[in-house]
Amino acid sequence: MRLVLAMFAVSAAVALSAQEPAQNRREFTIVAKDHVFTPNKLDVSQDDLVKITLRSEDVPVSFAIDAYRIVKRVAGHTTVTFEFRADQAGTFPFYCNLTVDRDCKDMKGTLSVRAR
């Protein structure tokens, strides 16, 4: 029994050390409404794990960051969540790339990644 508990304790310690430290994780909820992203500015540090929850409160929208090869779409009145590693320092625009809605082109924001 003690051997089993010791093996469990070692396994738990290894699993905890493999998880991302909390300071390297950034979470944002972006609300898309009336052809505006809120917030429209995201600030993170290089190598942060970024989790974005994109919520549309009216029409279908998308969220694109070309430098990170990210394009996510969400139907109206729904939510999508995704993660990526901010491994490139710099300032990157994000925008809605849907062509069906001409006002989508006005949905813009900025991801700022500070170098470590």
What confidence tens digit (pLDDT) does each residue in 53-100 have?
999 999 999 999 999 999 999 999 999 999 999 999 999 999 999 998
Residue 4 lies in a domain: no
Would you place residue 21 in the very low, low, confident or very high pLDDT band (cuts 50, 70, 90)? low
Query: DSSP for the chain?
Result: -HHHHHHHHHHHHHHHHHSPPGGGEEEEEEEEETTEEES-EEEEETTPEEEEEEEESSS-EEEEEGGGTEEEEE-TT-EEEEEEE--S-EEEEEE---SS-GGGGG-EEEEEEE--
Q: Based on the structure, what is the number of domains in the chain?
A: 1
CATH number at residue 48: 2.60.40.420
Residue 29 lies in a domain: yes
For the entire predicted model, the pTM comes to: 0.80
Host domain of residue 30: 23-100+107-114
